[in-house]
Amino acid sequence: MPNVLLLHGGAGSDNSYTEALNRYANSTSSKKSMDPLDFVVEAVRLMEDDPSFNAGTGSVKRIDGSIQMDAAVMANSQIGSVSAIERVKNPVLVAREVMLQTPHVMITGDGAVKLARALGFSDYDPTTERTETIWKKMVAFFNGRDVELPERYSQYYRYAKIFGFPQQKDTVGAVARVGGKFAAAVSTGGSSPMMRGRVGDSPLPGAGLYAGENGAVVATGIGEEIIRKMMCYDIYTKIGTEPLHEILKNKVEEFGEVLVGAIAVSKDEFASYSNSSMATGESTWP
């Protein structure tokens, strides 16, 4: 089967981002490598550097005004993950180093920042004008009304309308099949509104991503609900039982109106599905 790299720009991203994602996929697939990890990390790095996406540069701010990001990679039965990491340009690169250079699976908060500095990742402020505007709008809303944060996100869509969640976009991710092997990578600035220290699905193996000998899966959407259903591992265990697109569709539809999506590759297929708009990009090569 041909090699394939599949990207997504987040549940809620519109098709206007497809051109950029295809460009990133094609530029990444030109790399001289047979390691699928190289492809997914490079693709996610490119999306982190694009301020249009809520990952790396352009990540949304938390209620306290800070930016804390999550990222993870998975390949060859190994996992590297960072959560609530601050002031780095490319969290996905730090996540890869957690996998390759430490005995750990996940490093969080200030520990992740200290590791990044020790590995030579310089201080970087990912704030953009767009994310500053979103944060100021959120602060003005909370200061102007006597409201509580949504419990278990049951009122998420009421807040989404206020904060423009669909335009804000969500997790970015990539899956790859190269030389018959698989890898997955994800990165996100989280969702808005969110408390400092909140961790979503992205850095959690089985929830936000999963890769094994049969394929790779990445999720996007409302992280709390994705975690509760262990979305990616559940999809992975069903690979081969029916067409891959049907597996994704059936799983996404379990969430009802909760915003979610997924991309996946198997030994002979690749597919994407979301219950909202979701920009994707792809590249295949011999």
CA distance 103 to 114: 16
If DSSP states are collapsed to H, E and C, what string results for the chain?
CCEEEEEEEEECCCHHHHHHHHHHHHHHHCCCCCCHHHHHHHHHHHHHHCCCCCCCCCCCCCCCCCCCEEEEEEECCEEEEEEEECCCCCHHHHHHHHHHHCCCCEEEHHHHHHHHHHCCCCCCCCCCHHHHHHHHHHHHHHHHCCCCCCHHHCCHHHHHHHHCHHHHCCCEEEEEEECCEEEEEEEECCCCCCCCCCCCCCCCECCCEEEECCEEEEEEECHHHHHHHCHHHHHHHHCCCCCHHHHHHHHHHCCCCCCEEEEEEECCCEEEEECCCEEEEEEEEC
> CA triplet 39, 40, 46: central angle to 5 degrees?
90
Q: Which of 28, 57, 127, 171 is catalytic?
A: 171
The verdict on whether 171 is a catalytic residue reads yes
Residues serving a catalytic function are 171
